[in-house]
Chain A
Amino acid sequence: MNPDPFAALGLPARPDLSDEQVRAAWRSIAAATHPDRPDGGDLARYTAASAAYAQLRTSWARSEAYADLIEQAEPDTSPLPPVPADVWPTPVPPWQPLITAAQVPARIRRGRPLRLLIRGAVAAALSLVVLHLIPGTAAAPADVFGLTWWFVLTGRKDLAPPPER
């Protein structure tokens, strides 16, 4: 399996390449390296380009290859030797809720912070508008609560999942 099929075709590693772009890249490399050329071509490069083309031919395959590249760029997780049975599994500590709370900033950072910021800004702005429009009424704190409630319920999916999930 080619570790970087985009590089083999001389293309930027992007998931939104079109079929034509991929095909054109492969054709240009194939024309220059085909073994039937008078100069003998470059069999290794031709083979690599053909394999990469087969890997990137469809848009789905390109997005998968791109995702694979992104995953490979993350810290390497090479195999471990066996762990003694008495070391694992570690029980859940009683202070787990505190750990979960402490993870929230990291989950925001590794999630979609911009979207979360926009949501928060919208909720805050609307809360200010409500407090300005109907100060002192019973509906004002209820509206602010509603906006906070909306932010909490809809913002959860913009956080990265906790480590145990």
Chain B
Amino acid sequence: MSAWSWLKLRVCLWLLRKTATVTRWLLLAAVVLVAWPVTLIAVIEYAAAWLRGWPAIRLFRTAAWALPVTAVWLIIVEVRVPGWRSAALIPGRAWGHGFHHLGGAGLAHTLALLVPVAIPAGLALAGLAWAWRTYAVTAGVGGWTASAPIIFDTRQWKRQVRTAKGLNKAPGAVPLLARGGRIPVGGTIRHIGHDWRPVFSLPAAVSGRHVVVVGATGSGKTNLMIRQWAGWFTAALQAARAGRGNRPLLIVLDCKGGRDARSKADRTRRLLYGAGARRVAIWPDEARLCLWDLPAHDLAVLLYQMIDTGTGAAAYYADILQAVLDLAVLAPCGAPVNTAAFLDRLEAKWLQRAWGDGRHPAELARARAAGRHLPDIQLRYATLLGRLGPALDGPGSLAEADAWYCILEGTSEPSVAEAQAMALTELAARAATAPDAEPRVMLLAADDYSAVARRVPVSNLYERGRSLGIGVQVSAQTWQGLGRDDDERYRIAATADGGVFVLRTPYPEPLTLLAGHRRVLDTAHKLVGNIWADEGTTRIQRAPVADPDLIRHLEVGQACYIQGGAATFVQVARPKASPLTLLPAPAGGPVVQVPEARREPDPMPPTWPQGPASLDDAFGPGGTR
């Protein structure tokens, strides 16, 4: 083949290709023009999706919601002119008639006639076009420049955020509880793997399981958690009213304390009152609990754990401490009723008198042997219980309120807060298991639990909650704050079957690993000069479902919810109770319970009751003599 022939062949081939392309575009333009009502709707909706960052699924769903209009139209046509053939011909006639009246009024007339069909069709077409555009740009086969996927993603993210924020401002869009017992969290920004809904919500049952929230200070963690608490409480309350469950009991441990905690407590209380709670107690400021109501064995174990005992040689003293506590708490006359009574028992005289009934020689011997250690032990407990203050000295129990907001000064008094946390979790466990108590559905939420996690690891809290049927929510500021080592952290995160909320945090990688990876298309283009050539390759790559860099750059109030290998980015809405209420306005009343004087039982061993003076006292008059 000569060079001239080769050149002619190339030109012909080029011309053929271009002709095919032009013909394709012309045909498309013709179809677009001919079906102009559908095109008009599709263009408007496509532009709306682009400007507002909607996913294609939203357009498809809107098309589905428009189908009732088509159904109504079909019914009317069928009633007027029976036979489906006429229904099929009407749009064609209206469309053909429109081409004879191309003025503004004529076009409007045609559009109005075709709306019942054009709207669902246009929406579906816009959905298809938008889905293709999104796919093409993200896969790298669309766009004019190599940076198109990045620019597209960044721009769409901003628009998605703007749309989610706008949705959050609508008063009825993000209530505390949605239909079907779901707890709305806020406007959905982006979803990967989860079903898309404009407002991201979780089933109330999920919030009642184990949930982890990780976010730096000021990332909007408090709003998210308060929303979860109020939503869960509202859902549980409604279920109880409908006879489908027990009354809710919410226990919040604010482990950081400080002035912020009081403000958060007030907000939570206002919200819970709006949701229908009749008593929300703030501990220790306005209400008390009684540590001494615990069963004697549990109380002895708790008191032992509340003291730092150490290891190695210190273990010897730990054993003595435990033995003394058992003697003091499990005395035959019953458990102590308050701090003063307990401290009184840590004296040799009291112990020997209590166990000196002749029926407990071994315990009496132990009490004598421990005599020289008792002043030290008493001093340690006097110091600890003195620092704990009167808030755990009763009277009061968790059952007395619908919700408890417990403030622990974990920042300023970590050792005290740790002891308080232990006592409160023990009381919660007691409330869940007490056979004589009213059964309650419980959620234990620990905000910034890392402040007190040294003595009671979060994993213990989780396992305890799981065994007792209590939902546990735990928040920490960082991945490192979740536990002492990676083993514990992974155990906590991996057992969070209610999901993990990650807000802005500097090290989200371990948490995002829980969402796993997804397959994405990675397209490489050959460049000719500065523009893309026709050739290139596409490969399947793996990318994280929850992008750690995106999480690192989240704004305040944005969160990524990870669960079941999927992730949803959400703009958390500030929780607000309905401004309407059917309940009477709560009246003022004292919450701080005035402690009643409780009498310590006599340490003397119980004696056999003396016989009644007369058998009449036992059998009544006329009984057997």
Binding site for B on A (CB under 8 A): 1, 58, 60-61, 64, 67-68, 71, 74-75, 77-83, 85, 88-92, 99, 103, 106-107, 110-112, 129-130, 133-134, 137-143, 145-146, 149, 153, 156-165
CA distance A110 to B580 in the complex (A): 8
Q: Which residue of B lies closest to A126 (CB)?
A: B112
* CB of B66 within 8 Å of the partner chain: yes
CB pair B72 A141 closer than 8 Å: yes
A95 to B584, CA, bound (A): 19
Decide yes or no: A79 and B172 within 8 Å by CB, A134-B112, A146-B69 being known contacts: no
> A112 near B171 (CB under 8 angstroms)?
yes
Determine if B580 and A139 form an interchain contact, defined as CB atoms under 8 angstroms apart: no
List the A side residues contacting B586 at CB < 8 Å. 77-80
Q: Which residues of B contact A (CB under 8 A)?
A: 65-66, 68-70, 72-73, 76-77, 80, 90, 94, 105, 108-109, 112-116, 119, 167, 170-173, 175-178, 218, 220, 223, 234, 237-238, 240-243, 247, 259-260, 262-263, 267, 269-270, 273-274, 276, 278-282, 286, 400-401, 438, 556-557, 574, 576, 578-583, 585-591
Contact B175–A165 (Cβ < 8 Å): yes
Contacts of B175 in A (CB 8 A): 161-162, 165
- Further contacts, 8 of them, CB under 8 A, given A78-B587, A160-B171: A77-B274, A79-B269, A83-B279, A88-B247, A89-B241, A145-B68, A160-B172, A164-B276
Are A1 and B73 in contact, with the CB atoms below 8 A? Answer: no
Q: A68-B267, A133-B109, A138-B90 are in contact. Are A81 and B172 (CB under 8 A)?
A: no
Whether A79 contacts B280 in the complex (CB less than 8 A), given A1-B263, A138-B80, A146-B115, comes out as yes
**A138 to B80 CA separation, bound complex (whole angstroms):** 8
CB distance from B85 to the nearest CB of A (A): 14
Are A110 and B218 interface neighbours, CB within 8 A? Answer: no
**A164:B112 contact, CB within 8 angstroms:** no
- A75 to B583 CA separation, bound complex (whole angstroms): 13
B164 to chain A, nearest CB (A): 13
Closest 5 CB pairs of A and B: A142-B73, A161-B175, A146-B69, A157-B170, A157-B173
Minimum C-beta distance from A11 to chain B (A): 19
Whole-angstrom distance between the Cβ of B441 and the nearest chain A Cβ: 12
A selection of 11 A-B contacts at a CB cut-off of 8 Å is A74-B579, A77-B274, A78-B588, A79-B269, A79-B282, A79-B589, A133-B108, A139-B116, A142-B70, A163-B582, A165-B234
A1 touches B234 (CB 8 A): no
The reply to whether B557 and A77 form a contact with Cβ atoms under 8 Å apart is no
> Which of B73, B112, B247 contacts A89, CB < 8 Å?
B247
> CB distance A89 to B237 under 8 Å?
yes
Complex: how many Å from CA A164 to CA B233? 11
How far does the Cβ of B208 sit from chain A's closest Cβ, in whole Å? 17
Query: Which residue of chain A has the shortest Cβ distance to B179 in the bound complex?
Result: A165
B524 to chain A minimum Cβ distance, whole angstroms, is: 41
Contact of A139 among B65, B73, B172, B218 (CB under 8 A): B73
Give the shortest distance, in Å, between A103 (CB) and chain B (any CB): 6
Residue of B68, B77, B116 with most partner-chain A CB within 10 A:
B116
Nearest Cβ on chain A to B442's Cβ, whole angstroms:
16
Residues in B neighbouring A141, C-beta threshold 8 A = 72, 76
Name A91's contact: one of B90, B112, B173, B241 (CB within 8 Å): B241
In whole Å, how far is A37's beta carbon from the nearest beta carbon of chain B? Answer: 27
B112 partner residues in chain A, CB cutoff 8 A:
129-130, 133-134, 139-140, 143
Contacts of A139 in B (CB 8 A): 73, 94, 112-116
Decide: A134 and B276 in contact? CB cutoff 8 A.
no
Q: How far is the CA of A110 from the CA of B119 in the complex (A)?
A: 33
Residues of B within 8 A of A140 (CB): 112
A137 to B93, CA, bound (A): 13
Partner of B218, one of A58, A68, A89, A112: A58
Contact B66 A146 (CB under 8 A): yes
Q: B263 to A162, Cβ gap below 8 A?
A: no
Q: How far is the CA of A12 from the CA of B281 in the complex (A)?
A: 33
Cβ of B173: which chain A residues have Cβ within 8 Å of it?
Answer: 157
Specify the chain B residue showing the minimal Cβ separation from A134.
B112
Q: Distance (Å) between the CB of A87 and the closest chain B CB?
A: 9
Q: How far is the CA of A112 from the CA of B76 in the complex (A)?
A: 35
Q: Which of A79, A107, A137, A157 contacts B580 (CB 8 A)?
A: A107
Q: Which partner residue on chain A sits nearest B438 by CB separation?
A: A85
Closest A-chain residue to B581, C-beta based?
A163
CA distance A61 to B223 in the complex (A): 12
Contacting pair B172 A157 (CB below 8 A)? yes
Residues of the B chain whose Cβ atoms lie less than 8 Å from the Cβ of A146: 66, 69, 72, 115-116, 119
CB distance from B229 to the nearest CB of A (A): 15
Find out whether the CB atom of B171 lies under 8 angstroms from the CB atom of A110.
Answer: yes
Residues of B within 8 A of A99 (CB): 582
Inter-chain contacts of B286 with A (CB < 8 A): 79
| Contact status B589-A80, CB under 8 Å | yes
Please, which residues of chain B bring their CB within 8 A of the CB of A71?
A: 267, 270, 576
Least distance between A99 CB and chain B CB atoms (Å): 8
Partner of A165, one of B69, B114, B270, B578: B578
Residues on B with beta carbons closer than 8 Å to the beta carbon of A143: 69, 112, 115-116
A58-B218, A145-B69 known; A81 vs B557 contact (CB < 8 Å): no
Give which listed residue, A75, A83, A142, contacts B278 with CB less than 8 A: A83
Which listed residue, A77, A111, A157, touches B270 by the CB 8 Å rule? A77
Contact B578 A162 (CB under 8 A): yes
Q: Are B172 and A142 in contact (CB under 8 A)?
A: no
Q: With both chains docked as a complex, state the minimum distance between the C-beta of A162 and any C-beta of chain B, in angstroms.
A: 6
Q: Contact: B279 with A142, CB < 8 Å?
A: no
Chain A residue at minimal CB-CB distance from B259 = A1
Interface pair A163/B580, CB less than 8 Å apart:
yes
> Min CB distance, A62 to chain B, in Å?
11
What chain B residues lie within 8 Å of A61 (beta carbons)? 218
- CA of A99 to CA of B170 in the docked complex: distance in angstroms? 23
Closest to A81 in B: B589
A149 touches B270 (CB 8 A): no
Residues of B within 8 A of A83 (CB): 278-279
Residues of A with C-beta under 8 A to B238: 164
Query: Using Cβ atoms and an 8 Å threshold, which residues of chain A touch B274?
Result: 77
Contacts of A158 in B (CB 8 A): 170-172
A77–B585 CB distance below 8 A = yes
Complex: how many Å from CA A106 to CA B76? 36
The answer, among A60, A67, A153, A165, for a CB contact under 8 Å with B176, is A165
* Nearest Cβ on chain A to B121's Cβ, whole angstroms: 14
The docked-state distance in angstroms from the alpha carbon of A133 to that of B94 is: 13
Choose among A60, A85, A159 the residue that contacts B172 (Cβ–Cβ < 8 A): A159
